[in-house]
Amino acid sequence: MAHAIEVADSPQSVIWDITYACPLRCTHCYSESGRRPSRQVGHDDMLRIADAIISLRPELITLAGGEPLLVKGIFEVADRLTQAGISVIVYTGGWTFQPWMVDELARVCHRVVVSLDGPTAEIHDRIRGRVGSYARAMNALTLLDAGARRQREQGRRPIEFGIDCVVVRSNATRLDEFCTDIAPRFPELRSMDFGAAIPSGLGSRAGFVEHELLSDEQVAWLAGDEHRRHLQSLAPSTVRIDTTSNVELQMNPTQVRRGLDFQAIQIEPDGQVRAMLIYEGTVGSLLEEPADVLWRRAVARWTDPFITEALSHAGTMRGWAEAVRRIDYHFGSDAVRARIDRRPVFQAPTAG
pLDDT tens digits, 51-65 = 999 999 999 999 999
- Domain extent at residue 211: 13-342
Let me know if residue 118 belongs to a domain.
yes
pLDDT digits over 293-306, tens only?
999 999 888 889 99
Grade residue 125 by pLDDT with cuts at 50, 70 and 90: very high
- Report pLDDT for 260: 55
Q: Which among 289, 97, 266 has a CA at the least distance from the CA of 198?
A: 266
Collapse the DSSP code of 27 into the 3-class scheme (helix H, G, I; strand E, B; otherwise coil) and give the result: coil
Q: Under a CB-based contact definition with an 8 Å cutoff, are residues 75 and 69 in contact? A: no
Tally of domains within the chain:
1
Domain assignment of residue 275, yes or no: yes
**Dist CA 257 CA 249 (whole Å):** 14
Mean pLDDT confidence for 274-285: 93
Q: What is the pLDDT of residue 261?
A: 54
Instruction: Determine the number of helices (DSSP H) and then strands (DSSP E) in the chain.
Output: 14, 10
Q: What is the DSSP letter of 76?
A: H
Residue 160 lies in a domain: yes
| Domain assignment of residue 189, yes or no | yes
CATH number for the domain that contains residue 148: 3.20.20.70
For residue 313, the model assigns a pLDDT of 83
Sheet of 60-64: strands edge to edge?
240-244, 191-196, 161-167, 111-115, 87-92, 60-64, 13-17, 264-267, 272-274, 282-285
Cis peptide leading into residue 66 (ω within 30°):
yes
Question: Band of the pLDDT at 1, cuts 50, 70, 90?
Answer: very low
Percent of the chain with pLDDT strictly greater than 90: 85
Report if residue 62 sits inside a domain: yes
Q: What is the mean pLDDT of residues 207-236?
A: 97
CA angle 214, 38, 196 (to 5 degrees): 15
Round to whole Å and give the CA distance between 199 and 209.
Answer: 7
Region 29-45: what's the mean pLDDT?
94
Q: How far apart are CA 197 and CA 179, in angstroms?
A: 19
CB atoms < 10 A from the CB of 6, how many?
Answer: 7
| Residue 347 belongs to some domain of the structure | no
Decide if 176 contacts 145 (C-beta within 8 A).
Answer: no
Give tens-digit pLDDT for 5-16: 566 788 999 999
* pLDDT, average across residues 212-236: 97
In three-state secondary structure terms, 64 is strand
Residue 325 has pLDDT above 90, yes or no: yes
In a domain, 150, yes or no: yes
Per-residue pLDDT of 105-120, as tens digits, reads 999 999 999 999 999 9
Q: How many CB atoms lie within 10 A of CB 52?
A: 21
